Amino acid sequence: MAEFSLIDRIRARTAARADIALGIGDDAALLQPQAGLQLVVTADTLNSGVHFPPETPAADIGWKTLAVNLSDLAAMGAQPAWCTLALSLPDAQEDWVDGFADGFFALADAHGIVLIGGDTTRGPLSLSVTAMGQVTPGTALRRDAAQIGDDIWVSGTLGDAAIALRAWQGGTLDVRGPAEDAQVEHLRLRLARPTPRVALGRALVGLAHAAVDVSDGLLADLGHICARSGVGARIDPACLPLSAAARARVGDTHARDAALRGGDDYELCFTAPPAKRAAIAGLGERLVLHLTRIGEVVRGQGVVADGSESGTTGYEHFL
Amino acid sequence: MAEFSLIDRIRARTAARADIALGIGDDAALLQPQAGLQLVVTADTLNSGVHFPPETPAADIGWKTLAVNLSDLAAMGAQPAWCTLALSLPDAQEDWVDGFADGFFALADAHGIVLIGGDTTRGPLSLSVTAMGQVTPGTALRRDAAQIGDDIWVSGTLGDAAIALRAWQGGTLDVRGPAEDAQVEHLRLRLARPTPRVALGRALVGLAHAAVDVSDGLLADLGHICARSGVGARIDPACLPLSAAARARVGDTHARDAALRGGDDYELCFTAPPAKRAAIAGLGERLVLHLTRIGEVVRGQGVVADGSESGTTGYEHFL
């Protein structure tokens, strides 16, 4: 299959948006940003064997490739709009490309984000997305806006993806799924099909001060908020939201450790003034999403969990 | 070297722009597009061993990574603004990253395009850029706007990069350069350090109807204009602009073939009405850039060179 038919195959799956004057097929796309809004731009790459097990199904890879980028837009409170995709493939198999597109466009269509360009090249399997969204100027959820006295919140449950990854490494979880055991399948999906919290991010505009998505691990990502805001954080590990599947699989102690240090959950961690507690609780009910208060922003620096200064910085590539 | 210090090392090299509200360091960047303009977005990837010889110096890789994307913006007539970079590296060597940054930012700073985000991951050497520019609505140089009777023009000289690549494959050109022979060095630089024709693209707004950059080969790229515009093209191979170095190296016949079929030159091919000939000639003088009329847009389809229908479509990956 030639590069151009590969592109055609992907282009045939793209939806329309009124603000796209020219989509895939020219030297570049032409877009009409909404007057007065700021542009929000992020880029994330997934490499086979580094960011996902090599045997991961194509549809899951497609989903996750977009999900990790939508998660960054969510963490800014942005409304997703357009994206580009750089797809490096060792060979061009129609089945693989169609499967990839199934996952990618299922998530894209759900969030109204449209693929407007990209590149397909021959090479080791690697996927880079640049995602663009829009936000009213001055309202984005930045990492540098946490204030002393803010509550610290997280969405959903933490640690599931790390536990699933460890189970795969230990040979007790097949990423090709589905697993017969419902709890194992829950963990597998948390790793393979993370849910970007886009609606939450949008709704937090005006409620939250600072936000970050949990991709490298809670301690590391909350640490970014602390560093950029010039504050410290104190969290209570006993409050961390753990899934029933995580607790059943590895027990409370290990589940809590995975929640602190594990990455890849793509939940949002955000800070908000205590006066917003009722509004945030109401938001969680409206979105049918657990929002858990896990600590507070304090003077100082770094993240303190359980009273002891944490030196953990989560997962860094190249360490 | 950890991922974060790698990012810091790159971030330290980025310039400022008044329209960047928030650059590298958060979940996403915040940009303020100029009111009323359209956004122009393109994405291109370079993989080691596919798009450049593995022994290419880091600075040349940095330059070319950005150049191929600026070339796409140029082909739309856009003013460059911002870009993201996804950098996959097998290991994190400070020297390599600094060299890469030397080439990348030399070109970025020359064109006022600022890196506003990206990702560094461990993996086989691969570089993906998404470049963003701006253009007045309705003025972009599209592939679908060629008109019957238009002249067909190309900038600079064609075939140099393909001849350099073939010389490297044949063991007679060292991409690490510089070469002692001035003509060989000219060819090497045409491959390693292509010049995106940004000023030309900007100036062609209002003069040219359609444009494309020559990345896959003239026949293939002009073929894209024909296909999208629903027209044919007739070009005279005797008119093709060849460099003295190309002619000296492989002779006129092979140089002409390289000009027709070779990719990677990143010159612009554009169509314009005959009434604009004097203006285009004046533009070439002002930019000190050869602009050569090589044929005309005709009824029909496909590119005819030298009277015989050409079935060649240039270089396609996966063929």
> Which residues in chain B touch residue A30, judged by CB atoms under 8 angstroms apart?
38-40, 76, 135, 140
Q: Which residues of A touch B92 (CB under 8 A)?
A: 318
**Does B22 lie at the interface with A, CB-CB under 8 angstroms?**
yes
Judge if A32 and A153 occupy the same domain.
Answer: no
Same domain, B166 and B108: no
- With respect to residue B314, please indicate whether it lies within any of the assigned structural domains: no
Q: Does residue B91 lie within any of the structural domains?
A: yes
Find chain B residues with C-beta within 8 A of A82's C-beta. 41
Alpha-carbon gap: B287 to the closest alpha carbon of chain A (Å): 22
Q: In sequence order, what are the residues at sequence separation of 6 or more whose Cβ sits closer than 8 angstroms to the Cβ of residue B117?
A: A41, A42, A43, A130, B23, B24, B28, B29, B84, B85
The model's confidence at residue B4, banded by pLDDT at 50, 70 and 90, is: low
B141 touches B76 (CB < 8 A) = yes
- Flag if A132 and B41 touch (Cβ within 8 Å): yes
Closest CB from A46, A49, A137 relative to B32: A137
What would the pLDDT profile of B176-218 be if each residue is shown by its tens digit? 989 999 999 999 999 999 999 999 999 999 999 999 999 999 9
Q: What average pLDDT does chain A have?
A: 93
Q: Are residues A168 and A226 in the same domain?
A: yes
Q: What is the pLDDT of residue A313?
A: 46
Q: Is residue B234 part of a domain?
A: yes
Does B316 map to a domain? no
Known binding-site residue numbers of A for substrate = 51, 264, 315
* A113 plus A154 within the same structural domain: no
Please count the residue pairs, one from chain A and one from chain B, whose beta carbons lie less than 8 angstroms apart. 222
Q: Is the pLDDT of residue A270 over 80?
A: yes
Better-scored residue on pLDDT, B54 or B311: B54
In a domain, residue A220? The reply is yes
CATH number of the domain encompassing residue B298: 3.90.650.10
Specify if A315 maps to a domain.
Answer: no
**For residue A2, pLDDT beyond 50:** yes
Is the Cβ pair B137, A32 closer than 8 Å?
Answer: yes
Give me the pLDDT at residue A177, please.
Answer: 87
Residue B8 touches chain A, beta carbons under 8 Å: no
- CB burial of residue A234 (10 Å; 0-12, 13-18, 19+): middle
* Chain A hits for B44, Cβ within 8 Å: 86, 119
Q: Are residues B13 and B131 in the same domain?
A: yes
Question: pLDDT-based confidence at B314, cuts 50/70/90?
Answer: very low
Query: What percentage of chain A reaches a pLDDT higher than 70?
Result: 94
Put simply, the answer to whether B27 touches A121 (Cβ < 8 Å) is no
Residues 200-259 of B with CB under 8 A from A: 211-213, 228
Mutation target vs A (from B128, B135, B136; most A CBs, 10 A cutoff): B128
Which range has the worst mean pLDDT, A127-141, B117-131, B270-284?
Answer: B117-131
CB contact at 8 A, A86 and A116: no
Q: Are residues A105 and A163 in the same domain?
A: no
Question: Do A33 and A160 fall into the same domain?
Answer: no
**AA identity, residue B103:** G
The answer on pLDDT for B49 being more than 70 is yes
Best of B1, B20, B27 to mutate (most A CBs within 10 Å, chain A):
B27
- Give yes or no: residues B95 and B201 share one domain: no
Which token pair is A196? 């970007």
Interior CA angle at A262 toward A257 and A268, to 5°?
Answer: 110
Order the strands of the A79-89 sheet from edge to edge: A114-122, A79-89, A126-135, A38-47, B29-31, B20-22
On the question of a cis peptide bond just before residue B178, with omega within 30 degrees of 0, the verdict is: yes
Report the CATH number at residue B16: 3.30.1330.10
Domain termination site, one of A85, A116, A135: A135
Considering only CB atoms, which chain A residues are within 8 Å of B133? 28
8 A C-beta contact, residue A29 and residue B72: no
Q: How many domains does chain B have?
A: 2
Q: B31–A21: do the CB atoms touch at under 8 Å?
A: no
Residues B249 and B225 reside in one and the same domain: yes
Which uninterrupted H or E stretch holds B79?
A: strand B79-89
Give the pLDDT of residue B229. Answer: 98
Please report whether residue A56 resides in a domain.
yes
Same domain, A78 and A117: yes
Residue A314 forms part of a structural domain: no
B28, B32, B140 ranked by CB distance to A72: nearest? B28
Tens-place pLDDT, residues B107-154: 999 999 999 999 988 888 999 999 999 999 999 999 999 999 999 999
**A122 and A59 within one domain:** yes
CB contact under 8 A, A3 and B316: yes
Interface test with A, best of B8, B10, B26, B198 (most A CBs within 10 A): B26
Q: Look at residues A135, A160, A180 and tell me which one is the last residue of a structural domain.
A: A135
State which residues form the domain around B209. 143-309
- Single residue among B74, B106, B135 that ends a domain in this structure: B135
pLDDT of B222 higher than 90: yes
Residues 6+ apart with CB under 8 A from B83: B66, B69, B108, B113, B114, B115, B116, B129, B130, B131, B132
Q: What residues of chain A, 176 to 205, have a C-beta less than 8 Å from chain B?
A: none
Q: Are residues A181 and A64 in the same domain?
A: no
ipTM surpasses 0.85: yes
Q: How many angstroms separate the Cα of A132 from the Cα of each of B39, B45, B245?
A: 11, 18, 43
| CA neighbor of A281 nearest in space, from A153, A158, A149, A90 | A153
Residue A237, classed as helix, strand or coil, is helix
